[in-house]
Copies of this chain bind each other. A is one copy, B any other.
Amino acid sequence: MTVTLADVAARAQVSPATVSRVLNGNYPVAASTRERVLRAVDELDYVLNGPASALAAATSDLVGILVNDIADPFFGIMASAIQSEIGGPGGRAGGERLAVVCNTGGSPERELTYLTLLQRQRAAAVVLTGGAVEDSAHASAVGNKLRKLADAGTRVVLCGRPPAPEAIALTFDNRGGGQRLTEHLIGLGHRRLGYIAGPEERTTTRHRLEGHRDALAAAGIEDDPRRTVHGRYDRHAGYEATLELLHRDPSITAVVAANDTVALGACAALRDSGLRIPDDVSVAGFDDLPFSIDAVPALTTVHLPLAEAGARAGRIAMGREEPPASGIATVPGELVVRGSTGAPRE
C-alpha cells in the first residue's frame, strides 16, 4: 500500500540501512549510490514515516511554539519570527523541522496540556512566549514539565516571558518600559493619570504596573488606587475601563493602557465621551504593534522588538546561537513618542 523504506531499497538495489543513511545524511555514502537512492525515492514518491523514524531515533523534528493568543499580532509577530528561524520549510536553516504554533488561549490548563502533547511527540524544542500566569500551583506544574522536557533532550526557551530556572529566557523589560512611559507623561506635566492594567494574575500586567508606580513614586505623586482598573488585554476592556476611570475621576488628564490594543479601546471611549486626544486627555499604549501608528492621533507607546527577540529565541532553540551566559537576557523596550500624548489641559 504505502511505500516504505524497504521498497526504495529494493528499487535502488541497496539495503534499507543505506537508504536511511542517504536520507539522513549522517553517514558517508558513495555519490553514485546516493544518486540511485534519490532517484528511487523520487520514482516511488516515497515519504518518510515520521513516527517510525522518531520512534527508532528517539527524537523528532517537531518544534512547538506556545502562544497565548494567536489572533493577537503581538504573538503572531513573535511566532512568525521564531518559526522562520527554526527553519521549517524554506527557512534560513534550510532544515526540515516542523515548526508549529500552539494556541493556549491564555489558559493554564491548555498550556500544560500542550506541553504534555509536545512531550509525547518527543519534540526537539519548545518555545514559550508571552507572560505567564502568577499562580504558584500552575507555575510549579509548568516548571516540572519544563524540567522533564529538558531532561528528555527537548530544548526549552522562553521568549518575552519571565525567567524560570528550567529554561533559557529572553525577557522583556516591561517594568522599565512602563516606568519610562509614565515618566514621559509626568514630564509633560500630568499629575492625575488613569491606568488600565491587564488581567491581575499575569506577570506582564504586574511588571508594567510596577514600572508605572515606580515613576509615580519617584515624582512624589500619590498612587490613588481608584485610578487603576484591571481588564483583559483587548479593545473592549480598554473601552469599558476608560469609561470607568472617567466616571471615578473626571479630572484625569492621561490614560496609560496595558497595551496598544487596550489603548485603542481607550481612544474610542474618549472620543465617544466627547474628549479630544491629546488636548483633553493623553493616551499611551505598550508594544508598538503595527496598527498603533495608524491610530489618530498616532499612539505614544513602548516599542518591543518582538521580531528580533523571536528570531533570537528561535536560533537559541535550534542551537544556532549561544544562549546568554546567565541563562537570562533582558530585552529593553524603547519609548516611542507620537501624537497621542501632550501637555495636560489647563
Contact = CB atoms under 8 A, between A and B. Distances in A.
A92 interface: no
Contact of A51 (B88, B89, B122, B294): B122
Nearest to A72: B76
The 8 closest A-B pairs by CB, nearest first: A89-B113, A51-B54, A296-B296, A71-B76, A101-B101, A100-B100, A50-B120, A51-B51
Interface in A82-108: 83-84, 88-90, 96, 98-105, 107
17 contacts: A2-B152, A47-B119, A47-B148, A50-B121, A62-B121, A70-B80, A70-B83, A73-B73, A83-B103, A84-B105, A89-B104, A89-B110, A99-B103, A101-B101, A235-B294, A264-B294, A291-B291
Nearest to A61: B117
Contacts of A101: 70, 79, 100-103
Q: Which of A45, A110, A121, A293 has the most CB of B within 10 A?
A: A121
B80 A103 contact: yes
Nearest to A65: B101
Nearest to A271: B296
Given A83-B103, A152-B2, A296-B296, A49 B120 contact: yes
A55 interface: yes
Given A90-B110, A98-B102, 7 more contacts: A71-B73, A88-B103, A89-B104, A89-B110, A89-B113, A90-B113, A101-B103
Nearest to A83: B103
A337 interface: no
A189 interface: no
Interface residues of A, number: 65
Nearest to A60: B51
Nearest to A290: B235
A318 interface: no
A117 B103 contact: no
Contacts of A290: 235
Interface string A132-166: 00000000000000001000100000000000000
A109 to B, nearest CB: 5
B49 A55 contact: yes
Nearest to A298: B268
A244 interface: no
Contacts of A45: 148
A328 to B, nearest CB: 26
A69 interface: yes
A114 B112 CA distance: 26
A41 to B, nearest CB: 12
A113 B49 CA distance: 15
A20 interface: no
